[in-house]
Chains A and B, each alone.
Chain A
Amino acid sequence: MTIRIGVTSVLVDDQDKALAFYTDILGFVKKDDVPMGRHRWLTVVSRHDLEGVRLVLEPDEHPAAAPFKEALVADGIPFTSFTVEDVHAEHDRLRALGVRFTQPPVAMGPVTVAVLDDTCGNLIQIACKA
């Protein structure tokens, strides 16, 4: 049994915009960029783990995606969570780059978390050990 997690995904409203945000702002590195019909197989990885889990920037074309994403955003619920070394430092860095946070860093028991808007229709949590 060699099952493992190779990719995970976020549903984005625009792949170009998403690639710019996830690389230039969040700091991921582009891994795959393969044309597939009207869209691309587009993935990014952590610059600290180039062979690690890939994040697919996946078009949110399915009609069910829009109401699902809107409902999550309205309630402040992040679509997924990324791990950082220091949530406070990352919050300050991203705020300086103009990123909108719906939740500043808050200590929640064993972790400190903050929630940001990825500009592609998702909220994303960043987390570190408290």
Chain B
Amino acid sequence: MSLLVAFSFPMGSTALRRAWKVVDLPSKATRAAAIPCHNAPPRVDTQVNTCLLFSVTNVFDALAAESRRLILDELAERDGQALYELCARLTMKHGLNLTRQAISQHLEVLEAAGLVRSARDGRYKFHYIDASPLEEAVRRWGKTTKEGK
């Protein structure tokens, strides 16, 4: 499966999550075809940039929904929450009228973007915020701004 096929699945679908898990490193030919920039030779740095572009897209898609931003807000306030606590916070503190399934799907989108990680602790499952993909995404333009001054 190529990276492009993997990313063509709709965000947050189980198909996407499966694709994430089974995706192999693409062959050289596939990688070259996947790179949108025609002038640059398919060198390693270009490939890295291409991969980064995709992950940046995921990050900002994930952040595009207010519900998902609120989930990150609540995890930032207290990291390592069970689904129940997140549901309670969104309902009681923010008045959101979302089903548990909907919140679970929002968490899947955040996980696919690398912004949330979930981990089993014995019989419990907790969710943790991970802002590193966001820092990665912002770094590109943060650097440009400083040099432009």
Contacts and interface: CB of A to CB of B under 8 A. Distances in A.
B83 interface: yes
Contact of B123 (A74, A103, A106, A109): A74
Interface in A42-84: 70, 73-78
B78 to A, nearest CB: 7
A39 B144 CA distance: 72
Contacts of A73: 123-124
A11 interface: no
B141 interface: no
A23 interface: no
Interface in A87-113: 102-104, 106, 108-109, 111, 113
Interface string B82-100: 1111001100110000001
Interface of B: 78, 81-85, 88-89, 92-93, 100, 123-126
B78 A76 contact: no
Contacts of A19: none
6 contacts: A74-B125, A77-B82, A78-B84, A103-B81, A106-B78, A108-B93
A37 to B, nearest CB: 29
A12 interface: no
Contacts of B125: 74-76
Nearest to A104: B78
A115 interface: yes
A102 B82 contact: yes
A76 B89 contact: no
A115 B85 contact: yes
Contacts of B85: 76, 102-103, 106, 115
A78 B87 CA distance: 13
Contacts of A102: 82, 85, 124, 126
